[in-house]
């Protein structure tokens, strides 16, 4: 079965501000998140979720997780809330948001193998963007590169690298 997943979000995650001026997300805020019209449809879906912060015009991934049961059961567990709290209290600027990668429409179930593969890939992308990603598994940076193709640094591509990326269908977003 092929899985043609879509990205949804960003969805604002409700938070409170402590007397020490630290953003806090707890169970009441998680309940508020699922009560919102735009997030209610994702409660029973499976897939990948990315907790991030939005500051200015950009986003910074904080934690990538997989939901093999349902997003509602996995996004805001105590363990995940601890990850979010650590990031928000360690100076992560911006407002907390959540992205979902799931099947479109009313279909909820995704094969576990697909969820695992997508999670691994998203962790790699997120770790490249944020070296302080809260995930522990799968964040090790690869110790190889192909100049002009994958993790090849800055500078002009050679004609060979350009032809190769075109032939392989490697886009800029995949190559970084």
* Residue 111 and residue 38 share a domain: yes
- Domain range for 157 is 142-176
Share of the chain above pLDDT 70, in %: 95
pLDDT interval class at 3 (50, 70, 90): confident
DSSP state, 148?
T
Tens digits of residue pLDDT in 70-79: 999 999 999 9
Q: What is the pLDDT of residue 103?
A: 95
pLDDT band at 41 (very low <50, low <70, confident <90, very high): very high
Confidence of residue 111 (pLDDT cuts 50, 70, 90): very high
**134 in any annotated domain:** no
**Residue 107: both structure tokens together:** 């279909």
Do 71 and 121 share a domain, yes or no?
yes
Average the pLDDT over 51-64 and give the result: 94
Q: Would you state the pLDDT for residue 4?
A: 92
> Is 43 in contact with 31 (CB distance < 8 Å)?
no
Residue 115, class by beta-carbon neighbours within 10 Å (0-12 exposed, 13-18 middle, 19+ buried)?
Answer: buried
Q: What is the pTM of this model?
A: 0.85
* In a domain? residue 135: no
Beta carbons within 8 Å of 123's beta carbon, 6+ residues apart: 64, 133, 135, 137, 138, 139
Q: Do 123 and 146 fall into the same domain?
A: no
Pairwise CA distance, residues 112 & 117, whole Å: 9
Q: Is the pLDDT of residue 176 over 90?
A: no
Q: Is 22 a domain residue?
A: yes
**Could you tell me if 79 and 16 lie in one domain?**
yes
Number of alpha carbons in the 13 Å side-chain half-sphere of residue 67: 28
Alpha carbon distance 139, 96 (integer Å): 21
């Amino acid at each position: 079965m092929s899985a043609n997943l879509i990205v949804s979000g960003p969805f604002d995650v409700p938070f409170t501000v402590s007397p020490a001026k630290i953003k806090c997300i707890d169970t009441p805020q998680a309940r508020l998140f699922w009560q919102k019209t735009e997030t209610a449809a994702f409660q029973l879906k499976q897939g990948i979720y990315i907790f991030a912060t939005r500051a200015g015009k950009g986003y910074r991934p904080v934690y990538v997780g997989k939901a093999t049961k349902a997003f509602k059961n996995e996004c805001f567990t105590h363990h995940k809330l601890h990850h979010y709290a650590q990031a928000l209290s360690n100076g992560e600027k911006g407002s907390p948001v959540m992205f979902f990668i799931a099947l479109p429409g009313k279909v909820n179930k995704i094969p576990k193998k697909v969820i695992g593969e997508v999670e691994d890939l998203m962790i790699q992308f997120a770790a490249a963007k944020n070296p302080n990603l809260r995930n522990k598994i799968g964040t090790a940076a690869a110790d190889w590169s192909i100049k002009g193709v994958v993790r090849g640094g800055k500078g002009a591509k050679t004609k060979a690298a350009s032809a190769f990326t075109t032939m392989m269908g490697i886009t800029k977003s995949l190559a970084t």
